Structure 1
Amino acid sequence: MPAATPRERIGWLLRVNRRLAPDPRWRTGKVFAAAFRPAGDRPLAESQITRWESGATNAPRAAIRRYEELLGLAPHALTTLKDALDRANGCAAAPAGEGDPRRLHGLLEVATGSGPITGPEWDELTELVRARPGLILHPPRLWQELSQRLLTELAVAEDSAWLQRQEAMSRLLGHPDAGAHAVDACIRLAQDTGNPVVVEPLSLLDTTAHPDANRHIRRTIAAAGDDRALYGALLGAVRKIRARHFTRDELGDIGRSVAGLLGDPGLAGPLRPLAVQVSRALAGEVPRLEQRATRPEARLIAARVCSQWPVDQPAELTLGELVGECLHSDNPDERLLSAMFVAATPLREPVAAAILDRVVADLRGRRDTGLDAALRSLTTLGSAVHRPLIAQILTEREFGDRARYAAAWATPHCAGAFPEPAWSRILAVQLAAWQRAPDGLGREILHGVTYGIGTDNHRGLLHRVREDARMPPEARTTASWLLTTPALISAGG
């Protein structure tokens, strides 16, 4: 059976949220349709709800916003997912209109000032900017300030707040005047060795064909230096190649670089699947929905969850696809987006519990293949259910380097928080492990632990990491960088 189309996935998102809404009134399509339009307006036909939720017709952004309002969801919690899915499939909708210029000026004033700006406000501001391709700011450095602030917030935001800022940044990158400044901001952040966020600013460059973006992606792949930078560049290159951003000579350079990577037996494990994807994109291969098959374990997880909830079989099939992608896809962007689709529904915690059971069973069987993707998927789901397991892996000596690396990099932006004494214990154990084997993964494990301490907002511990000469340089510079960023942004903020 073919995988769900993007339109069907949006329909799934709407249907699951409505059918599992806390307010039982909305579980009946007829009642929901009757309430959809303001009193006195022409009623919405129940069949229209069915067409949107089945994917028979495309649900416009305004309709999705109305779902958010009626279901009591955070503003833009669902619309941002539609934006991200449309962008991933190269079919972003045109702006609805230029909107009120006074609103644009007001939002620009907030965004270039020192006061807080929320994810929905970033969304609205960049939609207004996108609707004005001829917009020019004076002085031009305002674009740079806007881009730098947005990227800094992206580094510390969580859940839907993070996705809203990523989509907002993609709109700036695609704007005729803002684009060059946004590209420069992405490159500067990626080159900042103290910043823990390297993949995102590089992969975001897939939005634009700007020559500076092309050049930086090509050079990063050729240099094959820092693994995180190479990871981000390969991820960005896949979509840029398919979007025909590169010249023939640039494609030739990338092809030679990737051939060298694939011929290197020492290439880090997570990098090889991405290098293969770049090679396939260069060869003109396009993934086809009908070639995908949901893995049995993903189907079992979906069946277990849906047996406890009033979810129909088509919704269960789509859930299985999403779970399979977030656990097994070779493309990190796809893993992330699939997990965020599940996270935007009431199924997030039941799915998280089922995935955790599978992870625990694998660890008991001494299997850690896929542990990194599974733990990070649990973090992306916005669940804290795996926090006890993370603490166990990072404080008990029975776990190997791969498990500790997976646990460390699942801590940044994980729901909930470890108290300071727990983090102190984790730091002490992992520092001792790195000192015993300084050539292993210990350096990157401490790097991930430091980032997790930062997103849990323990600034006192960050000061300790920064000042501790025994810590690896990456952890100390990341602690310093995190100490200079604004306070963390709450989910939806």
Structure 2
Amino acid sequence: MPTDRSAGSAPTRRLTLRHRLAWLLRVNRLLGSRHEFTVRTKFAAAWPSGPDPRSINPSTIYRWEAGSSAIPHSAVRRYEELLELAPGRLVAAFDYELRANRPMIESAPALARDHQVEPRTLDRRLDAYLDRVCAPAVMTGCDWDDLTELLATRPAAYLPGRAWREIAQRLLAEMLVACGQAWLQRFEAVNRLLAHPAAQGELIDACAVAAADRDNQVMISTMAALGHSNHRDSISVLLRQLTNPTDDRALWGTLSALFEAATLKQLNPDQRRRATRTLREIAAAGGPLGSMADEILQALWTLTGPVAIGCAGRQYSLRGPVSLVAQRVAHAAAAALATAPETFTDDVFPQLVEELLFDPSEEARLEVSMLIAASPYRSGIAQALSSELRRGRTLTGDPERSGTLLSALRMVGGSPERSLIERIVLADGLPGPTVSVAAYAIGHFTPVPPASWWDSAISKHLADWHRSKSPTSLAALRGLAYSAGVTGSQTPLQRLKTDPTTPLAARAAATWWKNQPTYITTSAQL
């Protein structure tokens, strides 16, 4: 890897989808806790002891992990079982990567499931899920994965309209408040229903209602969910929000979704003309929203046909000088591995770290963070990112750089890193944007901060708000409401909701989170 790059350097090509998925299998086998499976023959010998009695040749494993042969869903699940990973950990990462890089939306998952049971058994399983959705009872991410896959492979399945409505509304509500693997599984489930002929109308309606709610605290995700849908009603919802957005967050999510729709050439000529008028006004105003509008206009009026969405395999140019940061983080993360075969080399991971930290596309950074989070590098890169944040003037300097590091850490960090985020939220003298990113991030770390920390954080930022009335102080309070909401921390939410000194926007945020049904917030954490 070069030791230095600038914005004027030659573009870098992202790793292909095939190589990303092959890498994920390979590193989980070679760097996981089952050290005996670093030998392919031993891994192959253990394969038939599961529910599938068929044996497997070591050469098949080699081809899967080299990216030269497609791997079926049953094999990804067997990797999870043999390597003692949480159910769905690898499958969810595969589904997300495959979905994010598909040229057109389809209901059935690209990682096709192979049901080795009778159709009658599948029907009974479907009925049981529907009972739990409508009861309502707790639903896990794996439950939603199974339910929506059963529906996706039955496009003509008949359900009462009320059942489709409850499925759509509940699934969207859970996705909006979920994190990590739980979010990945629900994101994939939402995309399946957005392409299902009987479900898509109800889900689009649910998104439209959520987008019109001014108190909605996850507006960007609400609108972005419509970006891959090719249904005419999805485009209509996006155009309504473009011309009359509920708020700035809704506009940001709308622009993100419209970029995907424009790239896929999903707007008809009349819709393109309507969108163009407003997009030109936004572009003329400049700023980040103006830049996004410019990109959408280019995609709208490019004469070529639909292109593949997603980030795998595309070229990108880095923003500003990169120096040794990506290389330093990658080396530190690799050094933190508990064990690795003596002959093990990994040329993929350093490039993934470079994409994670410096790719100009937010979607690309999210994609690669989900891959690394599903790999044995997760704890090591969390340590490395924490060290980078503590390094020199990182936290007191450019908030864009510290924000990028914090956003990456949010996706991979755990208990050891939580104390650093807590200190950032409480610190004086740091840039406001850095603190607000940390306030939103703390909800993604386990375990939940103690009550004393919540009290201190809320008191500090209420005092900062009343002293300065700065937007960043308000953003920190809203971030604390978000983090309390996703972790189910009711006491800090109650304080933000009832304290008369809380600014109106932060009070509305806390109220929205408090009003989420318990079965939604409980399920969304599973």
**Same fold, TM exceeding 0.5?**
yes
The corresponding residue for 1:161 is 182
| Distance in 2 of aligned mates of 1:396 and 1:427 | 13
Q: Is the 8 A contact 2:72 2:112 kept in 1?
A: no
1:236 aligned residue (250, 257, 261): 257
| Distance in 2 of aligned mates of 1:315 and 1:159 | 28
2:90 aligned residue (51, 72, 78): 78
Q: CA deviation at 1:177?
A: 0.7
| Distance in 1 of aligned mates of 2:170 and 2:24 | 31
2:384 aligned residue (354, 357, 360): 354
**Distance verdict in 2 for CA 1:96–1:458, change over 3 Å:** closer
Q: Is the 8 A contact 2:395 2:430 kept in 1?
A: no
**Distance verdict in 2 for CA 1:490–1:133, change over 3 Å:** closer
Structure 2: gaps spanning 5 or more residues: 1-11, 104-108
The corresponding residue for 1:132 is 154
Structure 2 counterparts to residues 103-182 of structure 1, below 5 A: 103-138=125-160, 140-182=161-203
Q: CA deviation at 1:315?
A: 6.6
Structure 1 stretch displaced more, 176-185 or 26-35:
26-35
| Distance in 1 of aligned mates of 2:459 and 2:438 | 16
Q: CA deviation at 1:290?
A: 5.7
| Distance in 2 of aligned mates of 1:3 and 1:329 | 9
| Distance in 1 of aligned mates of 2:223 and 2:469 | 28
| Distance in 2 of aligned mates of 1:119 and 1:153 | 10
Whether 1:408 aligns to 2:420 is no
Q: Which amino acid aligns with 1:146?
A: I
Give the length in aligned residue pairs. Answer: 489
The corresponding residue for 1:261 is 282
| Distance in 1 of aligned mates of 2:477 and 2:341 | 42
Whether 1:18 aligns to 2:36 is no
Q: Which amino acid aligns with 1:223?
A: N
Q: CA deviation at 1:464?
A: 1.7
| Distance in 2 of aligned mates of 1:229 and 1:320 | 35
The corresponding residue for 1:474 is 505
The corresponding residue for 1:461 is 492
Q: CA deviation at 1:259?
A: 2.7
Q: Is the 8 A contact 1:193 1:474 kept in 2?
A: no
Q: CA deviation at 1:28?
A: 0.9
| Distance in 2 of aligned mates of 1:315 and 1:188 | 50
| Distance in 2 of aligned mates of 1:145 and 1:41 | 39
**Distance verdict in 2 for CA 1:389–1:443, change over 3 Å:** same
| Distance in 1 of aligned mates of 2:371 and 2:14 | 15
Structure 1 stretch displaced more, 316-325 or 413-422:
316-325
Q: Which amino acid aligns with 1:303?
A: H
Q: CA deviation at 1:490?
A: 7.5
Residues 127-177 of structure 1, C-alpha deviation per residue, up to 9 Å, x if partnerless?
000001112311x02212111211222233232111111111111111001
Q: CA deviation at 1:311?
A: 7.3
Structure 1 stretch displaced more, 320-329 or 19-28:
320-329
Q: Is the 8 A contact 2:98 2:110 kept in 1?
A: yes
Whether 1:45 aligns to 2:57 is yes
Over the matched positions of the two proteins, sequence identity in percent amounts to: 31
The corresponding residue for 1:341 is 371
Q: Which amino acid aligns with 2:221?
A: E
| Distance in 2 of aligned mates of 1:52 and 1:121 | 27
**Distance verdict in 2 for CA 1:464–1:241, change over 3 Å:** same
| Distance in 2 of aligned mates of 1:300 and 1:234 | 35
| Distance in 2 of aligned mates of 1:375 and 1:334 | 16
Q: CA deviation at 1:195?
A: 2.6
What SS does the aligned partner of 2:331 have? helix
| Distance in 2 of aligned mates of 1:315 and 1:444 | 43
| Distance in 1 of aligned mates of 2:68 and 2:342 | 17
Q: Is the 8 A contact 2:394 2:401 kept in 1?
A: no
What SS does the aligned partner of 2:186 have? helix
| Distance in 1 of aligned mates of 2:88 and 2:14 | 26
| Distance in 1 of aligned mates of 2:342 and 2:197 | 45
Q: CA deviation at 1:275?
A: 3.5
Q: Is the 8 A contact 1:302 1:316 kept in 2?
A: no
Q: CA deviation at 1:97?
A: 6.8
Q: Which amino acid aligns with 2:482?
A: Y
| Distance in 2 of aligned mates of 1:402 and 1:33 | 50
1:29 aligned residue (40, 59, 69): 40
| Distance in 2 of aligned mates of 1:454 and 1:225 | 22
The corresponding residue for 1:189 is 210
Q: Is the 8 A contact 2:101 2:312 kept in 1?
A: no
Q: CA deviation at 1:474?
A: 2.4
What SS does the aligned partner of 2:154 have? coil
Residues 55-78 of structure 1, C-alpha deviation per residue, up to 9 Å, x if partnerless?
111212121111111111121111
2:235 aligned residue (194, 214, 225): 214
What SS does the aligned partner of 2:55 have? coil
Q: CA deviation at 1:392?
A: 2.5
Whether 1:203 aligns to 2:224 is yes
Q: Which amino acid aligns with 2:300?
A: L
TM-score, length-normalised on structure 2? 0.86
Residues 194-248 of structure 1, C-alpha deviation per residue, up to 9 Å, x if partnerless?
2321111211112312222111212323335622112211221122122222112
Q: Which amino acid aligns with 2:180?
A: D
Q: Is the 8 A contact 1:298 1:324 kept in 2?
A: yes
Structure of higher RCO (CA pairs closer than 8 Å, 6+ residues apart): 2
What SS does the aligned partner of 2:442 have? coil
**Distance verdict in 2 for CA 1:461–1:437, change over 3 Å:** same
Residues 286-340 of structure 1, C-alpha deviation per residue, up to 9 Å, x if partnerless?
6783634685522332233224543799973322232223323343332222111
| Distance in 2 of aligned mates of 1:45 and 1:25 | 17
The corresponding residue for 2:353 is 323
Q: Which amino acid aligns with 1:127?
A: E
| Distance in 2 of aligned mates of 1:432 and 1:467 | 16
Q: Which amino acid aligns with 1:306?
A: A
**Distance verdict in 2 for CA 1:380–1:30, change over 3 Å:** same
| Distance in 2 of aligned mates of 1:156 and 1:456 | 9
Q: Is the 8 A contact 2:443 2:483 kept in 1?
A: yes
| Distance in 2 of aligned mates of 1:313 and 1:482 | 50
Q: Which amino acid aligns with 1:145?
A: E
The corresponding residue for 1:298 is 326
Q: Which amino acid aligns with 1:250?
A: Q
Q: Which amino acid aligns with 1:482?
A: W
Residues 353-377 of structure 1, C-alpha deviation per residue, up to 9 Å, x if partnerless?
1112222224356232232232122
Q: CA deviation at 1:276?
A: 4.4
2:15 aligned residue (4, 25, 34): 4
The corresponding residue for 2:4 is none
Q: CA deviation at 1:95?
A: 4.8
What SS does the aligned partner of 1:228 have? helix
Q: CA deviation at 1:462?
A: 1.2
TM-score, length-normalised on structure 1? 0.91
Q: CA deviation at 1:94?
A: 7.5
